[in-house]
Amino acid sequence: MRLLIVEDDTETARYLSDGLRESGHVCDVCHTGPEGLAAALTGSHDAIVIDRMLPSMDGLSVVRTLRAEGRTTPVLVLSALAQVDDRVQGLRAGGDDYLTKPFAFSELLARLDALTRRGSAGDSEATALTVGDLVLDLLARTATRAGREIPLLPREFKILEYFMLRPGRVVTRTMLLEGVWDYNFDPQTNVIDVHISRLRQKIDKGFDTPLLHTVRGAGYMMKAPAAKDGA
């Protein structure tokens, strides 16, 4: 993926670009708002990572201008501000996701991955999701694995749906909290792990190949056995 990083702090910019290159991406780095805007308008990037506070033109103005120019490049806004209002403002300005500093690099990777693949899946039309031998019927709201129906609670169905819309991709705990519960905060106790382990009991227990995997230090991933994994 070709990514544009707009970040005034050189240390952070270097750390971001190093990390993203390490993960196999190509990175352009800008340090000011106008520079970033020019780069975003001329280049063709798969996604933009932009700091909210930038000298001479703040990140949200850049995003607003970009959107006014009709560019739909996914934008992830980074910010040291975590207030709910700021988050709302960031998304309202045209940002696609909002990440508060300090963040785990794995969180950034997972979110960028989710952003860039958002449109490509073509899943909005699908009435059923399939990963390996697990099928989720979105109309009947049922899950079957290898032909055997798995009884799910409504919330478990939602979690599973969230995973199956992103097969082969890392899903972090905060992504689940935001996407499934609509919570923008981290609960004191790690409740997500407990939910996942219960879900795992239902969909993986008694089957030869597990579908729901733990990605150490990052989160979880739903993945079909290697042979069938197209991602």
Partner 1 sequence: MSLPRGLWRTTPVRFAAVLTALFCLVLGGGLGAVYLGTVAVVDRQTEATLDAEIRALSERFEEGGLRRLVGAIEARTGPDARGDNVYLLVGPDGRRRAGNLSAWPAGHDDGAEISFPVTKRDGAESTERRVRALTFELPRGYRLLVGRDSEDQFMVRQRFVRAAVWVILFAIAVGLVSGVLLGRRVLRRVEAAAEAGERIAAGNLERRVPLAGSGDEFDRLAGSVNAMLDRIEGLMSGMRLATDAISHDVRKPLTRVRAELELALLRRAEGEDAQVVMTHALEQIDAAMKILANLLDIARAETRVPGDSWKPIDLATIAEDAAELYHPVAEARGIEVVLDTGPAPARGEPQLVAQAVANLIDNALKYAPAADGRVTVRAHPTDDGGACVEVADNGPGIPAEARATVADRFVRLDDARGGEGSGLGLSLVRAVAHLHGGRLELLDNAPGLRARIMLPPV
Nearer to partner 1, 140 or 194 (CB): 194
Nearest to 76 by CA among 46, 102, 104, 35: 46
Tell me if 15 contacts partner 1 by CB under 8 A. no
Which residue from 84, 139, 226, 227 is in contact with partner 1, where contact means CB under 8 A? 84
What is the enclosing helix (H) or strand (E) of 192?
Answer: helix 191-203
Nearest to 1 by CA among 111, 98, 116: 116
Nearer to partner 1, 1 or 215 (CB): 215
Neighbouring CB atoms inside 10 A of 226's CB total: 7
185 CB-contact burial (10 Å; exposed 0-12 / middle 13-18 / buried 19+):
exposed
Tell me if 124 contacts partner 1 by CB under 8 A. no
Closest CB 48 distance from partner 1, rounded Å = 25
Tell me if 181 contacts partner 1 by CB under 8 A. yes
Nearer to partner 1, 1 or 91 (CB): 91
Q: Which two three-digit tokens encode residue 169?
A: 């991709």
Tell me if 10 contacts partner 1 by CB under 8 A. no
Residues that bind partner 1 in the complex, under the rule CB under 8 A = 82-85, 88, 102, 104, 155, 181, 183-189, 191, 194-195, 197-198, 216-217
